[in-house]
Homo-oligomer: A and B are copies of this chain.
Amino acid sequence: MSARRRRLRLNAFLMEAGHHEAAWRLPHSNPRADFDLQHWIELAQLAESATFDSLFLADGPALIGTGEFRPPGQLEPLTLLTVLSQATSRIGLIATVSSTYNEPYNLARRLASVDHVSGGRAGWNIVTSAGADEAANFGLDDRPGHAERYARADEFLKVAKALWDSWEREAVVADKGTGRYADPARLHRLGHRGRYFKVAGPLNVERPPQGYPLLVQAGSSEDGKDFAARHAEAVFTAHTTYERAAAFYADIKARTRAAGRDPDGIVVLPGIVPYIGSTEAEARALARQFDELRVPEYGLRQLAAVFETEPSVFDLDKPLPDAVLARPKLEGSQSRSDLITELAVREKLTVRQIISRLGGGRGHFEFVGTPEQVADTIITWFEGGAADGFNIMAPALPSGLTAFIDHVLPILRGKGLFREEYEGTTLREHYGLPVPSNQFHQTQATFQVSGA
C-alpha cells in the first residue's frame, strides 16, 4: 500500500446536449449546443468547479450519420479545447484526434501548442478512425485495415514523441549580450525514415509543459489493447457488467506490465451513463423520459452502422439475425460490435430492446438509480479492481452533470475517495502521472557561449 490513499479519477465526457441520442429534444435542451460556445464554456467551468480531473471531447473527421435525427457536426475539438483552456485554469482537456488522417508533424505541433496555451493540461485520445465515411474524406476508396491503422499509429507515436522531445529544456540560451539565441546541438533532428513517415524535425515548438500531452486510448480490440499497453496513460472503455470490466482491467494491467511498463502508469476509466433520481422510481421515470424521445429509425441505422449492414436486415421484435451473429471480424469498430453481440445474447434482447439500451451510451454502462446507488456502484468497481475512475457520460447536459456533481460527488468525497480541491495544475498531476523523460536529454552541455 502506498502511504497516499488511492483516489478516484473522474473525467467529464462532454457531448453537445448530452450523451443520450434524443437529449437535444428535452424541453430545456439547447438543440444548437454543438456550435454554441457559451454552452461548452459553461460545461467546462461546471466540471472544473467540481474538480474533475479532465473533460473529454470525442471526434471523427466526418459527418455523424445523416443529421436527420441527431446533431451531425461539431467544432474541431482542438480548437474547442483551446477556447476552453482560456475559460478554465485547472481542469485537464482531452480531445480525440485521428492518427490515420493527420501528419505527425502537424499534429504533434498542435498538441504541443494546446499544452503550452493551457499551461500543461492537454490530453490526446488517439484513435485510428474505423469509419468508411472518414476514409472517403481523405482520398481513400476504402478505409485502411485494422492492423494497418494500428501499425501506422505505432509509428506515429514514435515520431510524435521524438518531435516533442526535440527541444531540450536547456536549448534556449537567449543571451542578449552575445546574440546567441539557442544551442543548435540541443535542437534535435530526427531523420526518421519509417514505413509510413519520413520526418526530419526538429519540431518548431518548444517541448510542452507536460513533456507529452497525456496519451489516452479507447479502442478495446486486441490491437487496441496492445497499443494501449505500449503507449496509453489513460484508457476509456465501455462495459455493461462489473465482471466484464474487471476482466478488462486485469487484462490491460497485465498487458501493460508485459510491455515493460508500470501498471499504475495506465489509468482505466470505464464509461457510466447515470440516470439519477432522488428515489429509484424517479430515476426510472427520468430514463423513461429519454427513451420515449428516441426515434426508432435512428437506432436501427446506428445498429446497422456498427455491424456494417443495412437497417432492413433487422426485425425490431426479434433477436439479432444469425447473419449478423455469424459475421467474421469487422475491419471497423470490432470492440463495439462484440460488446453489443455479447449483451444481446446474454440478456436475450430483441432488436428493439438493444436499441433502447444503446440509446444513452452507445454501449457504455447505463445506470438508473439514486445517488447512493450510483456512488455504491462506482465504489464497488473502483475498490474491486474494475476501474481506476470513471468517464462520466451525462445523458443530458448540463443537467445530468449537475445532478452527478450535486448528489453523487458529496458521497464520494465523504468517503475520502475524491479530492476537495485541485492539488496540482497539470493534467498529469491530476492523474498522478510523471512528465516523461526526454529521449535526447544530455547530461553534459556541449554548447559554450562565446566569451563565457
Query: Which residues on A are within 8 Å of B, measured CB to CB?
Result: 22, 24-27, 29, 31-32, 34-35, 37, 60-64, 66-76, 78-80, 82-83, 85-87, 101-103, 105-106, 109-110, 112-114, 116-117, 133, 136-141, 167, 171-172, 174, 176, 179-184, 187, 197-206, 293, 295, 298
Contact = CB atoms under 8 A, between A and B. Distances in A.
Contacts of A200: 62, 133, 136-137
Given A68-B184, A187-B66, A79 B204 contact: no
Given A66-B187, A201-B137, A179 B25 contact: yes
B75 A25 contact: no
Contact of A73 (B74, B76, B133, B204): B204
A332 B180 CA distance: 28
Contacts of A295: 179
B73 A181 contact: no
A197 B101 CA distance: 13
A181 B82 contact: no
Dominant SS at the A interface?
Answer: loop
Nearest to A83: B117
Given A63-B203, A66-B187, 5 more contacts: A24-B174, A68-B183, A82-B83, A86-B86, A179-B293
Nearest to A34: B206
Given A24-B181, A61-B105, A203-B63, A75 B174 contact: no
A204 B64 contact: yes
B67 A109 contact: no
B62 A204 contact: yes
A248 B293 CA distance: 62
23 contacts: A25-B176, A27-B176, A31-B181, A34-B206, A35-B206, A61-B204, A67-B181, A67-B183, A68-B184, A71-B181, A73-B204, A73-B206, A74-B205, A75-B205, A76-B110, A79-B110, A83-B85, A101-B103, A103-B138, A105-B138, A136-B198, A140-B198, A179-B295
Contacts of A66: 182, 184, 187
B174 A69 contact: no
A414 B141 CA distance: 61
